[in-house]
Amino acid sequence: MTKHQQHLLLLFTALAGMGVLFWYSLQPKPVSVRVTLVEKGTVEQTVANTRAGTVKACRRARLSPSIGGQIAVLNVHEGDWVKAGKLLLELWNKDLMAEISLKESEAKAAKANSRAICLQADEAQREAHRLAQLKRGGVVSIESIDKASTAAQSQRANCESAQVSAQVSIARVWVSRAQLERTQLFAPFDGVIAEVNGEISEYVTPSPPGIPTPPTVDLIDSDCFYITAPIDEVDAPKVTLGQIARITLDAFGEQPFPGVVRRIAPYVLDMEKQARTVEVEVEFARKEDVEPLLAGYSADVEIILKAHTDTLRIPSEAILEGDRVLRFLPGEGVLERVKIQVGLTNWDYAEVLAGLKVGDQIVVSIDRKGVEDGADVVLDAKQ
């Protein structure tokens, strides 16, 4: 073979190789996909809140004196735990205390005066009775008896008047004590002081009508919390009292807390034009879950409407439009579109009533380019 022929052969071989490479480059490459096995498990039908819910205390008292005044006694600080009945705050009230002392003395004097008058009335009554006994013997005149009887009745009336006056004096004491209580704040229940707005010698004033002001003392019952969350009006009719719920708190990550629906608001909130909701309250099912909580935490609730256990299920993200999935055929390395019958669904799983069996592999990365019926695929090495 001549050199010229050799060169032609090499050129032909190179061109053929390039053609093969070009043809190969035009061939569709296998698509990398993520798959999951069809398995049995629990599938629940649930509804969830549309916006973040809130942890609230079962009892919370935002306390302020009913009258204005200067703070004279402040027995608590933020974070203190107090018992019911403890004096939290007291305004300057020495004038009221002096008035109470004066009226108590007046009440004692009125009581003693009424007792003296009533003793005189008893003596007059006994005197009239003695004269009435002497009348039978003709010793005293009828005129003397009448005067004695009238005097006894008059004294009895004076006694009753004095007793009423004493009661009025005692009532005045209670009125003054009621005025005194308006200067004092007592804890209505056991709880934690969440906030104190005021210091010794500062002046506090009650809120004017229609103008809210910060409470002087904010008291929270830390032994009882619940969740309040908005549910879409479309889902509200499905929710009933006593249904089981799952609570998640941002402060505790993905840790779920069991709960129970305790209240459904009897009205719809339309705070936003396109978001009408119904307020639902969920209480914690276990008392120990309440201990680490703080009022004001953000929370989400998932209310369980129905639950099927030990049923065939797949991830909800794997379902295509028209209740179809892409099944991976390991022996052929291709995808097959399968029509399925769907039962209960939620954000995580969908129940499969027909069309698949345990152990089938279905594609979950359905949003990747080229993932379609009949496509050549390889399994994602990272799954």
- DSSP assignment string, 263-278: EE-SS-EEEETTEEEE
pLDDT recorded at residue 333: 84
Cβ 284 vs Cβ 225: under 8 Å: yes
Residues sharing a CB contact under 8 Å with residue 78, sequence separation 6 or more, in sequence order? 193, 194, 195, 196
Count of other CB atoms within 10 angstroms of residue 356: 19
Q: Where are the domains of the chain?
A: 31-43+309-379, 48-57+225-307, 68-90+184-219, 94-181
Q: In what order do the strands lie in the sheet with 191-196?
A: 60-63, 217-220, 191-196, 81-82
Burial group, residue 203, by CB count within 10 angstroms (0-12, 13-18, 19+): exposed
Answer yes or no: pTM beyond 0.75.
no
pLDDT recorded at residue 27: 47
pLDDT recorded at residue 23: 44
* CA distances from residue 29 to 13, 331, 347, 369, 380 in whole angstroms, order as listed: 25, 18, 33, 12, 14
- 68-90+184-219 maps to CATH 3.40.50.720: no
- 48-57+225-307 maps to CATH 3.30.43.10: no
pLDDT recorded at residue 15: 59
pLDDT recorded at residue 372: 85
pLDDT recorded at residue 144: 75
* CA distances from residue 172 to 113, 179, 275, 287 in whole angstroms, order as listed: 17, 11, 57, 48
CA distance 340 to 328: 15
Cβ 50 vs Cβ 379: under 8 Å: no
**Grouped pLDDT means (10 residues each) for the chain, 383 residues:** 60 59 54 88 90 91 90 92 93 93 92 90 82 68 77 86 91 92 92 91 81 86 90 90 93 91 88 78 90 88 92 93 90 88 90 93 87 80 62
Burial group, residue 137, by CB count within 10 angstroms (0-12, 13-18, 19+): exposed
- Classify 31-43+309-379 by CATH class: mainly beta
From 55, 60, 53, select the one nearest 278 (Cα to Cα).
53
